[in-house]
Amino acid sequence: MRIHSRYNQFVLSAVLGASLLLSTACTHGFAPTPKPDGTQKSIENGAQKFIEAANARLSPLGVRAARAEWVKANFITADTEMIAAEAYENYLIESVEFAKQASQFDGLELAASTRRQLEILKRAITMPAPADRALTQELTQIATRMDSNYGKAQYCPEGVDGDDCLDIIEIRAIHTESRDPDALLDVWVGWRTTSPAIRDDYRRFVELTNQGAVELGYPDTGALWRSNYDMSPDAFATEVDRLWAQVLPLYQSLHCYVRAKLSEFYGEDRVPLDAPIPAHLLGNMWAQQWSNIYDLVAPEGADPGYDLTVLLEEAGYGPLKLVESGENFFSSLGFDPLPESFWERSLFTKPRDREVVCHASAWDVDDGDDLRIKMCIEVNAEDFRTIHHELGHNYYQRAYKEQPYIFRGSANDGFHEAIGDAIALSVTPAYLVELGLLDREPPPSKDIGLLLRDALDKVAFLPFGLLVDRWRWGVFAGEISSDEYNAGWWALREKYQGIRPPNERTEDLFDPGAKYHIPGNTPYSRYFLAHILQFQFHRAMCKIAGYQGPLNRCTIYGSEEAGRRLNEMLEMGMSRPWPDALEALTGERELDATAIRDYFAPLQVWLNEQNAGRTCGW
């Protein structure tokens, strides 16, 4: 089972499923423990049989868990929650046993492929469960309860009955459209009244997963997560800091400019020029992306001359046509069409008769051709790009389906997110011309506006993409206690993002739980890495396509050579360390944020000019 998502999706790790099935293989005698006096050949045979049994048994159990989760996400009821919880409980119990069984081969000389599969089994569990079955049952019930509580959460303003309460989609719409600071404050605070109910569950969740991580030989769950990047946990933390340092000057320039423009609009009493920005004024429920306030900060005279949402509406696009456009993009690169089952089984629009988890996600239910997306599509520019992103997951999933089961995943979890986002970077005016949505490309003089809009999404997201896991690493390690969850959260948000809460936030609240990935237990570093990698991928594919010109104007639409090189990397799955996969497409073996600087170079110059004489920083 593999589920991937750009936004907020309850993710059960693919490799977690692998470890589940390996445990079953062990209990059936497929993995004899090597004896101290065993020959090298018998040791290798034992390890190989262990892996072969695992790969042979993984798929049916993974499919069972995936189907249970799909049904629960699409039909949120007490019964579906119980079914998913039971499937997940079995999943977790076996996963821990498999990871422990894989450890019997530590320190032994084995074939590279066998060794890698064993290491993947041990390090890729995102929710390590204690060996005690009763504790595992408690953990799975907590995880399912947190996920469902988030999915069903609504804010009911004072004097409003249940029928008029606001769900997350309606609240997001207010943040997108409203410029009334009091209305924005109301829904910002209101949504965060739904998360304190998760706080005690989350505290216990941390205790139980940490116990499971220790039993697997890791100091805590955060260290286990950081071990999943072909380097030590400490080295990964250092790598994240290195990449952030590369992009920090660009973010600081963007923050300085946006703060000044918001201060002009709302007044310096609401947005002081020497302090963090109030979080509710940035056009997004979590202040993670700022493009919804583009109208407030847009450069004078930089209107590109079109509004993609309007173009889509005028061209008669509906949800299905948006998806068909995404498929057409990949077809132009030489990829085969999506299977008929994709169109039959995906969820494209929000049902009227039930609650569903609407957050966009891409699913590979059977580790083969049963590919699906699940999202409540609206016809707008954001969802047009999101469709291209989610289909990137699906095409990646299909590309590596011939790998052994344990290798059916991305080179690291940032790759999966980056592929879709790299494709979305090709949604340029030149691409819209190809689709007939535009008659001609705007002149280069309009690029600053387009670049600023992109930066409000891509650059503004970087510190948020970093701090979510920074907070959890601190929580898992005990550096942020359960008595300071909120204080620790807002300290990191000020440090990295330069934002502050719009009112006092006390410790009886649980603001981290208002972001789905916290109760959904989805590691978040993948999104930070994806925002680095997508530009590196884009720069490489544009070069392969023979494009010459500003990087922000490039689309690889129609380049079969770029598609061929891309597919070569996708087909590798997890079979090689991620630097090998990176090199296959880009020719580079290190993550490199200079591609972001290349992409936004004209904007950096412009921001420097705009910020002249201002006091930047917070």
Q: Which among 389, 416, 531, 538 is annotated as catalytic?
A: 389
**What's the CA gap between 222 and 247, in Å, rounded?**
24
Task: Please state the separation of Cα 322 from the chain's center in Å.
Answer: 21
- Assess whether 417 carries a catalytic annotation: yes
156 contacts 162 by C-beta, under 8 angstroms: yes
Catalytic residue (choose from 237, 279, 287, 360)? 360
Residue 553 carries which DSSP code?
Answer: G
Contact at 8 Å (CB) between 372 and 362? yes
Closest CA to 7 of 469, 422, 526: 526
Which residue in 94, 97, 417, 494 is the catalytic one?
417
Q: How many residues does the chain have?
A: 618
Q: Is 527 a catalytic residue?
A: yes
Q: What is the number of other CB atoms lying within 10 angstroms of the CB of residue 6?
A: 23
Catalytic pick from 69, 390, 424, 531?
Answer: 390
Catalytic status, residue 360: yes
4 noted as active-site residue: no
Specify whether the CB–CB gap between 68 and 83 falls below 8 A.
yes
Residue of 132, 142, 46, 53 whose CA lies nearest to 97: 132
Identify the H or E element spanning 3.
Answer: strand 2-5
For strands 277-278 and 499-500, give the pairing: parallel
Q: How far apart (Å, rounded) are the C-alpha atoms in residues 409 and 226?
A: 17
| 517 catalytic residue (yes or no) | yes
> HSE of 225 in the Cβ direction (CA atoms, 13 Å)?
24
Residue of 4, 280, 517, 531 with catalytic role: 517
Which of 218, 400, 485, 527 is catalytic? The answer is 527
393 is catalytic: yes
Element spanning 313, H or E: helix 308-314
Q: What are phi and psi of 280, to 5 degrees?
A: -80, -5
Nearest CA to 229 among 529, 583, 458? 529
Q: Which of 175, 359, 531, 538 is catalytic?
A: 359
Q: Of residues 4, 393, 531, 538, which has the active-site annotation?
A: 393
Q: Tell me the two tokens of residue 618.
A: 């917070």
Catalytic residue ranges: 359-360, 389-390, 393, 417, 517, 527
